[in-house]
Amino acid sequence: MSEKPAFPAEGRFVAKALENGKVFFPISKADLLIQAGDEPVKVDWDRYVPLRSIVERFVPDYFENAISFFTAYTAERSSRASGK
């Protein structure tokens, strides 16, 4: 039985959730969750989760710009992949 390939596009769906939620930077984590927390993010070939479930685990509480947001996202995703 073959294993399905890893889902490569989660980051793109995170970006789409920010766009759909009309998120602009700078923004606090609390404001981002209020504004876009319920936006769906495709995290696997057949599974969606609310953006909230990803962002709530971020360490920073404020994002100066999209780079700082996606840096936090990358750190969270790496932590998730390593089982931490």
Q: Give the start-to-end residue ranges of the domains of the chain.
A: 10-76
The pLDDT, as a whole number, for residue 63 is 98
The span from the first CA to the last CA of the chain, in angstroms, equals: 28
Look up residue 30 and give its two tokens. 């609390």
Whether the pLDDT of residue 75 is over 90: the answer is: yes
Query: Do 74 and 57 form a contact (C-beta atoms < 8 A)?
Result: no
Stated pTM of the model: 0.88
Q: What is the average pLDDT value for the chain, to the nearest integer?
A: 93
The pLDDT, as a whole number, for residue 52 is 98
Whether the pLDDT of residue 2 is over 90: the answer is: no
Whether the pLDDT of residue 19 is over 70: the answer is: yes
Q: How far apart are CA 42 and CA 49, in angstroms?
A: 7
